[in-house]
Structure 1
Amino acid sequence: MKKKILLSLLLISVLMLVFGCSNTNTAKDSFDKYVKAWSKSDFKNMYSYLSLDSKKNITEKDFIEKYKNIYDGIDLSKISVTPEYPKSLKKDGNGNVSIPFKVSMNTSGGAINFEDTAYLKQEEINNSKAWTIVWSNKMIFPDLGDGEKVRVDKKLGNRGEIRSENSSYLAKNGFVAQIGIISGKFNANDSNTKNNIAQILNVTSDSIDKKLSASYVKPDMFVPIDTISKDDSAKISALSQISGIMIQDKAARVYPLKEKAAFLTGYVQPISAEELTNLKSKGYTQDDVIGKSGLEKIYENQLRAEDGAEIYIVDKNGNKKKTLAKKDPKNGTDLNITINTDIQSALYDQYKGDSGTSIAMQPKTGEVLALVSSPAYDPNDFVLGMSSDKWNSLNNDPKKPLLNRFESAFAPGSTFKPITAAVGLKTNKLDPNAAKNISGLKWQRDSSWGGYFVTRTEQYSEPSNLLNALVHSDNIYFAQAALNIGKDTFVSEAKNFGIGEKIPFEYGMTTSKLSKDNTINTDIQLADSGYGQGEMLINPLQLTSIYTSFVNGGNIINPYLNADKKSSSQSKIWKSNVFSQDISNTILNDLSQVVSNPEGTGHGAYIPNIPLAGKTGTAEIKANQNDTNGTENGWFIAVNTNNPKLLVLEMYEDVKNRGGSHYVVPKVKDIFQQFCK
């Protein structure tokens, strides 16, 4: 048996000698593994293939740091290493093997491509032969000699700015105040001064100590401590009195309207590690900012700037030796939007701590003039760097200043009644002149409803026809109208208004729905839906768009924000011929009476020289009909009927015991008095 094994081993040895098996093949295998690690930036694994002499010249730690610092500095996003193997690998006089290769890199300075040659030698490692890489700096870049360095000069591009219809800025490239300490002029042992600075900036004294004690800090160095708004004059004045404090301008994204347009503009912040991983192929680097919400995020591709850079080698004396790559910066493209900042500000200022949302629109063109959500946050705080205390106060505030209300959906209450009327008129299920037999303040279809009743707030002496039902906002009238229309027709006609369909708009809005599944299952649900209750939830922008149909002959105009896409021809219609011109005229005339008639629920908005048509709505938010602890949301939506140029919707939360929708009516009136002259 032993003789057979020996003979087999001898035969294998003879075959290896005959066919020249494996010294050169092993060199190829070793370089393939080195290249694979290199392509993955696995520097630790790369180091393991270095020759013994190479390892004497550079430690593993320094090797890894050198590659990492250079590749991070040039913002390497992709690298491809391709060996150019000859037909056969030949040894030189020293027994080494040479392998040509090509490298292609994507960097902040553009593409870097070069060709070079790797040298491998066979060495005794761990009692066996292995092929190793003869390494030097030139394997990073062929022109990089010992003691030389790679430098990067960044040239910043400017992010596109966001401008309004009235030429004001909603987001611009401005400056903030960077607060720093000149360590040599500051007494680091003066705890009282440090505590004073910490209190002014709302930071900890320990954080100041940590920054001042960093190993790189020199006596004449400006050490950044915090960044604040240049508008914060009180803090700037207090800090400027402290010895050793220096205040410098720092370029930053600035939002002049602050809370007033927070959810509209959104904000930018430094790119996160996860975002960088996903977007590195698109040229993003670790120094970039990126839109995190609002228009900043929606139009990131348009607004983003691409920084330029020059990547070059300097010799031992710091002189530029060779440029490896150079790319000019590319500015982002400005975004012009239809928002009127004066209307936006006026609407937000009305809330004064109240919660709600407002929309203003040009009803003939679809230009959105204001999108307001209150309360809100200051987007500048996110740019400057928000403290944990500030974030917790926003996150835990019961008024929910981080909730975007114009993006959400709510029970529309009686503002839905004109839609029910339009459906009834279109399907001939509603005679506008016929009076319904209604008496008292509550009504039910029959005894099968048990203890459930539809209620209304007042009785009136006029006939219960469509005009008077809208003027007095009669829930019972519209409950009966919905029942006459029927479930299937009500549901199908609601779809014609776009209910249940995502509204085509730049900013993603919550889809309006009749119910969770857009069906109506019971007569009670149908009756309640007729006056905007039940399970119905409507997005405020979509409701505003639907109301454009009353001044556009039954066509619902498509809302838009991007003024750069404004059509020079006719406005874009989202839903055409939802109902007829005659129906449009009927409802618009009735809604005009809601405001002009002294008994109308919207009469508080009456302006003699500005004829308005509008509808109030008080939506009950409660668990059931007997719930006395629920709240109410108040609505009013109005449009000027003489050459319509302005359509305004305002919704206020928690108006119970504050007048319901009557709390909102004078606020809408004020906007028309200011901006519709």
Structure 2
Amino acid sequence: MKRKFIVLTAVLLIAMLAGCAKKESPADRLAAYTKFWNDEKFTDMYTDYLSSGTKKTFDQNEFAERQEKLIEDLSIDDLEVTYKKPKEDAEWDEEQPAVFPIHIKMDTAAGPVEFDKDLTFIYEEQDEEKHWYADWDPSFIFPGLTATDTVQIQTTKAVRGKIFDRNGKPIAMNGIGYEAGIVPGKFTDAGKKADVAKLLNTTVEFIDKQLNQSWVQPDYFVPIGKVAKTDEALLAKLIEIPGMTYQETAMREYPYGASLAHLSGYIGPITAELLEKHKDAGYTETDLIGRQGLERILEDRLRGENGVGIYMKGPEAGSTPEKIAVKEAVDGEDITLTIDADLQKKTYDAMRGETGTAAAVDPLTGETLVLTSSPSFDPAEFMLGISGERYKTLSEDPKQPLFNRFAAAYAPGSSIKPITAAVGLEAGTLKPDAGIMISGKTWQKDSSWGSYRVSRFHPEAPNPMDLNKALIYSDNIYFAQQALAMGKEKFISGLKRFGFGEEIPFALNLTPSQISNDGTLASEGQLADTSFGQGQMLTNILHLAVMYEPIITNGLMYKPTLYKDDATQQVWQKDLLTKPNADELKTDLRNVVLDGFAQKANLPDIPVAGKTGTAELKKAAGESGQDTGFFVSYNADHPNFILAMMIEHVEDNNGSGYVAELAADVYKAYYKK
């Protein structure tokens, strides 16, 4: 009897507790449902919160997996479902649906999407439990979406920005090239596949795969590979093969080819490494990306932003897609350089394929007009995917056409002497008219120099040696003595004012010019060597051109610019030369061409002024030295530009006089009527 009483009491207690437990209201169920929704836990939503009618209409795949896939495919992010909370004392009739206005918003690949909906909860029994359950249909994913609609995403490619020179001439443009292909019915010699594969840098297996596609017919054009518009020789070889032809296709063009290749760079297929590096930037495996030069440096500006559209389309044939969200494509930025592409090509052509580099600047603005490296390469080859064999040929070429010489630094030799003179003139230690008696081919200050002696190439130069004659005869001994008269501190300080030892303030990463490896001059011998551009001194070719600006501007040296919208006449250094000292050097540099060893540049109608220089690259005992020749010059009457040119291996070709000859060709081409 006692045991029955205990059991009955327990049953009554449970019943009382159950009666006292708070029943979940529609608002409670709404809060839990929307939390799962915002957390993208669609399976939990389906299992515990959807009405039986919804579950009967839509299975779990249609509900959960479809939403999960759309989130991934459409890059949906920041999904947020909100609603206005009902009053706490709100009463709910279990016989009536509970309706809640909700707001749904999200970010997608095509931009933001947001809309309002009414969410209905009904009170019903499921699995022997009564609760409020939500009615659902696909329109809660996107407005108007039905179970039979498909959601599509369409991408509109942005047009890549173009690169122009200062005169609006295209350096990199969206032009045309050619798609080379096979017409199967006319391609009767299968043995020619190997020839086609070699010419188009592909494989016979790829050609067979293309020809065996289901859509191919005997008279159809089957694309095999692309050919640059400029590669007429390759096109000629291809069409010699029966059954081969070509069609025009959109392609990036580099109209100035090799002359601007190291500067323009090129685009090419994105690699797996680059795809990983830019994984958050929307690139795909089929995209092209800037691989070298300005195409790489300016990638973010040139690329633009692809457009994306999200549409839903009914199952009926011919039904019109309805827009859900559209983000219009933003084309890449067109960029204009300060470069004069025609002058650049004239300069490159004048270098005759010799190994070297050249730069030109407008001395009155600081704008960079020429920046070239020779020899070079055709950027179109790399854009289309260069073969391993061809790349090996280029990379093993002793002239190193892939090496960008304008980014490097070289011993400037005697081309630095006007700068040494400028430092001495401003220090007051160099008196331009004061003659120095110099005899013999070599000189040393005293016996403390041991075996070191300064050598000069023209001991026949007449005494007394003043600044004008020292520049005309490029006398190393004169400049060594002037550097000693200045002393290391004044000389180093003066060179630093010309920008030695600091980063060149330029849009591209160029090797800075240096006085020495550690910026000091450890001995008088090193001081002497440095005065005429030897020792450990190195200069960048663009910086070398810029250093001549104060001679023309009476003391101002401008920051070199590359982009046309950059402010010009940005002062890098000032008060480098007084007008009298600048005028002295103007006269002397003109006389170097008139009377000195740059007479190859002494043109009848163009008064070129400038300074040659030769830097000897010393070799081991028993080996012949190699000379690097320089010529820095300008038109004395109309200094439209300062041209600095360097050519390697001039030892058997008239030394730096050969460089003056090449530079003269630039002036003749530039001023040709």
TM bucket normalised to smaller? 0.7 to 0.9
Contact 1:312 1:320 survives alignment (8 Å): no
Q: Does 1:191 align with 2:190?
A: yes
Aligned to 1:535: 536
Deviation at 1:239, TM superposition (A): 4.2
Residue of 615, 636, 640 corresponding to 1:641? 636
Aligned to 2:592: 594
In structure 2, the CA distance between the partners of 1:333 and 1:502, relative to structure 1 (3 Å rule), is: same
Q: Does 1:659 align with 2:654?
A: yes
In structure 2, the CA distance between the partners of 1:674 and 1:119, relative to structure 1 (3 Å rule), is: same
Find the residue that maps to 2:405 and give its secondary structure. coil
Deviation at 1:616, TM superposition (A): 0.8
Contact 2:239 2:245 survives alignment (8 Å): yes
Contact 1:91 1:98 survives alignment (8 Å): no
Partner Cα separation in structure 1 for residue 26 and residue 233 of structure 2: 76
Q: Does 1:607 align with 2:603?
A: yes
Q: Does 1:676 align with 2:671?
A: yes
Aligned to 2:265: 266
Deviation at 1:354, TM superposition (A): 1.7
Deviation at 1:587, TM superposition (A): 1.6
> TM-score, normalised on structure 1?
0.81
Q: Does 1:632 align with 2:627?
A: yes
Aligned to 2:7: none
In structure 2, the CA distance between the partners of 1:231 and 1:542, relative to structure 1 (3 Å rule), is: closer
Tell me the alpha carbon deviations over residues 473-506 of structure 1, each in whole angstroms, 9 at most, x when there is no partner.
Answer: 1112212221221112111111111112223333
In structure 2, the CA distance between the partners of 1:437 and 1:235, relative to structure 1 (3 Å rule), is: closer
Contact 2:414 2:533 survives alignment (8 Å): yes
Deviation at 1:438, TM superposition (A): 2.9
In structure 2, the CA distance between the partners of 1:33 and 1:63, relative to structure 1 (3 Å rule), is: closer
In structure 2, the CA distance between the partners of 1:632 and 1:245, relative to structure 1 (3 Å rule), is: same
Partner Cα separation in structure 1 for residue 270 and residue 135 of structure 2: 38
Deviation at 1:420, TM superposition (A): 0.8
Indicate the larger mover: 320-329 or 548-557: 320-329
Tell me the alpha carbon deviations over residues 360-397 of structure 1, each in whole angstroms, 9 at most, x when there is no partner.
Answer: 23323333222110122211123222223333333333
Partner Cα separation in structure 1 for residue 117 and residue 454 of structure 2: 85
Deviation at 1:59, TM superposition (A): 12
Larger Rg: 1 or 2?
2
In structure 2, the CA distance between the partners of 1:338 and 1:87, relative to structure 1 (3 Å rule), is: closer
In structure 2, the CA distance between the partners of 1:271 and 1:17, relative to structure 1 (3 Å rule), is: farther
Partner Cα separation in structure 2 for residue 119 and residue 274 of structure 1: 50
Aligned to 1:503: 504
Deviation at 1:237, TM superposition (A): 4.8
In structure 2, the CA distance between the partners of 1:18 and 1:56, relative to structure 1 (3 Å rule), is: closer
Find the residue that maps to 1:636 and give its secondary structure. strand
Indicate the larger mover: 382-391 or 18-27: 18-27
Contact 1:49 1:133 survives alignment (8 Å): no
Deviation at 1:451, TM superposition (A): 2.5
Gaps of 5+ in 1: 1-6, 39-44, 126-131
Aligned to 1:104: 106
Tell me the alpha carbon deviations over residues 511-556 of structure 1, each in whole angstroms, 9 at most, x when there is no partner.
Answer: 2111233222222221111111111111111110111111111212
Partner Cα separation in structure 2 for residue 29 and residue 387 of structure 1: 60
Partner Cα separation in structure 1 for residue 224 and residue 202 of structure 2: 9
Aligned partner letter, 1:661:
S
Partner Cα separation in structure 2 for residue 240 and residue 48 of structure 1: 64
In structure 2, the CA distance between the partners of 1:467 and 1:218, relative to structure 1 (3 Å rule), is: same
Indicate the larger mover: 608-617 or 51-60: 51-60
Deviation at 1:62, TM superposition (A): 9.0
Q: Does 1:617 align with 2:613?
A: yes
Aligned to 1:236: 235
Aligned partner letter, 1:663:
Y
Aligned partner letter, 1:660:
G
Tell me the alpha carbon deviations over residues 23-64 of structure 1, each in whole angstroms, 9 at most, x when there is no partner.
Answer: 99999889767755x5xxxxxx97798759877757999998
Aligned to 1:575: 573
Find the residue that maps to 2:152 and give its secondary structure. strand
Tell me the alpha carbon deviations over residues 95-124 of structure 1, each in whole angstroms, 9 at most, x when there is no partner.
Answer: 9999967342242x4433346799999999
Contact 2:201 2:386 survives alignment (8 Å): no
Tell me the alpha carbon deviations over residues 231-279 of structure 1, each in whole angstroms, 9 at most, x when there is no partner.
Answer: 3344435545767656332212100111111112122335566766776
Find the residue that maps to 1:469 and give its secondary structure. helix
Matches of residues 242-391 of structure 1 in structure 2 within 5 Å? 247-270=246-269, 289-317=288-316, 318-391=318-391
Contact 1:269 1:289 survives alignment (8 Å): yes
Aligned to 1:478: 479
Contact 1:650 1:664 survives alignment (8 Å): yes
Aligned partner letter, 1:388:
G
Aligned partner letter, 1:443:
W
Aligned partner letter, 2:664:
K
In structure 2, the CA distance between the partners of 1:148 and 1:603, relative to structure 1 (3 Å rule), is: same
Find the residue that maps to 2:380 and give its secondary structure. helix
Aligned to 1:169: 170
Aligned partner letter, 1:589:
T
Partner Cα separation in structure 1 for residue 226 and residue 174 of structure 2: 16
Tell me the alpha carbon deviations over residues 280-336 of structure 1, each in whole angstroms, 9 at most, x when there is no partner.
Answer: 877777776443433334444554433434432221124124111234443344333
Aligned partner letter, 2:78:
S
Aligned to 1:4: none
The count of corresponding residues between Structure 1 and Structure 2 is 640
Deviation at 1:145, TM superposition (A): 3.1
Indicate the larger mover: 159-168 or 171-180: 159-168
Find the residue that maps to 1:414 and give its secondary structure. helix
Find the residue that maps to 1:438 and give its secondary structure. coil
Deviation at 1:651, TM superposition (A): 0.4
> TM-score, normalised on structure 2?
0.81
Tell me the alpha carbon deviations over residues 625-670 of structure 1, each in whole angstroms, 9 at most, x when there is no partner.
Answer: x684442211111111113223221101122333321221111112
